[in-house]
Each structure stands twice: as structure tokens, then as C-alpha cells.
Amino acid sequence: MTYILNIETATKNCSVSLAKNGETILRKEIAEQGYSHAEKLHVFIEEILKESRVRASDLKAIAVSKGPGSYTGLRIGVSTAKGLCYALEIPLISVDTLQVMAKQVSVENGLIIPMIDARRMEVYSAVFDPKHNKIMEVQAEVLTVESYSQMTEDLFIIGDCQEKCKTVLTKDHFHFLPQIVFPSANEMSALSYDKFLKNDFEDVAYFEPFYLKDFLISKPSEK
């Protein structure tokens, strides 16, 4: 049997799941306004292993949500995943954060557009078909009334930016799913197991999160 620990910290949701052969057997997560990843992540990992009675040595891989998303959140998740992989001498798997979100949606027709809030009217987004295959690559885009004007299918919008999306995406074929706000480690289970079976691993030494945009630190203004 294959146990994989999944770590999702790309947004405000600090989420950890333990999966057995691609099925989630235990999950812990919390989404707080002030980002509690640094305080909660290691606690969740310890609690999950203890409650499931699975030893760290039983894990076959560590999977981490690679982004895009919060710079700080991604750094915490990836650093933790790398540390575990080094200590346990097991492989590292990375999973597309927006695909993790898309997996929460089940539709027969139309397209799924997961979005992660950036600044002002900007979002990180991608487009998936009903089978969760990516048909438009991840991008940082500024939403306008012309966004997705080339698409006539039903478009299902998910993520933490739905309220601001509603102000510009007003046509009838846009459908908002307010119950789906953040990615969760629960949906990582099947994705990470599929990558494990394909030996699709990352180089632990050199892997970096997918920030999509450069992280900029502004200089303090001179008085």
C-alpha cells in the first residue's frame, strides 16, 4: 500500500491530508484571515500521523501544492515538504494548485475556471474541461468585461475572488460556485498518487514553488 502525505498551503487554507493508494483517509485544515500556516502545518502533520496510526517511515512520498498562490504560504509548504523528503529519504511530488481546485467541481458540460485572488482586479487562473484536463495554461490576468469573451460554453467560476469577479463577469453563461473557495489537500490525493505511479518526481534540492510572478519587495520611502 502507498501512503502519501499531501500539503496544501498556497492560499489562506492550511490543509494536510494522508492518502492511501490515492484515497484520502484523514484530512485536517483551517482557513483563517491572518494565515496560520507556520503555526498549524506541523501540528496537523503530527496529528494526522498519530490519529491514523501511520508512522512517518511508512510514507512513500510527500506531495505539495506548487502554486500559484501566496508567496509566504507556498514557501512554508514547500520548505516543510522538502525537509520531510530529506529526512525520510522519499520523493517529492508537486501538484498544480489550480488543478487541485478544479477537482472540486463535477459538471457534465462547460468549463471550470479556478481563480486565486491577487491584487485589485488581478487573479491567477486556468481553464479546465469537465474531466479536469487543463485547456488553458495558468496565467495572471486582470479581469475586465471582455475576459473570456471568446468562450460561449457555461463557465463555472470558483475561488476566493468570486465577489469581485461578479462585478465584471456578468453574462448569463458565467456560473459562480460560492461553496468552493480554497484548494484542499483532499483533492491532492488522487493527483499525487497518479504522479507517484508515473515516477513523476521533483528534484528535492532544486524545486521551487510556481510563483507565476516575481516576488517584489518594495524599498522603504525616504523621509
Mean pLDDT over each residue of the chain, to the nearest integer:
94
Per residue in 195-204, pLDDT (tens digit) is: 999 999 999 9
| Cβ contacts of 37 within 8 Å, gap of 6 or more | 9, 14, 72, 73, 76, 77
What is residue 32's predicted lDDT score, i.e. its pLDDT?
Answer: 84
Cell numbers standing for residue 2: 502507498
Per residue in 147-156, pLDDT (tens digit) is: 999 999 999 9
Query: 141 pLDDT exceeds 80?
Result: yes
Query: 217 pLDDT exceeds 50?
Result: no
pLDDT class of 68 with cuts at 50, 70, 90? very high
| β-bridge mates for residue 59, sequence order | 3
The predicted model scores a pTM of 0.92
Contact 15, 203 (CB under 8 A): no
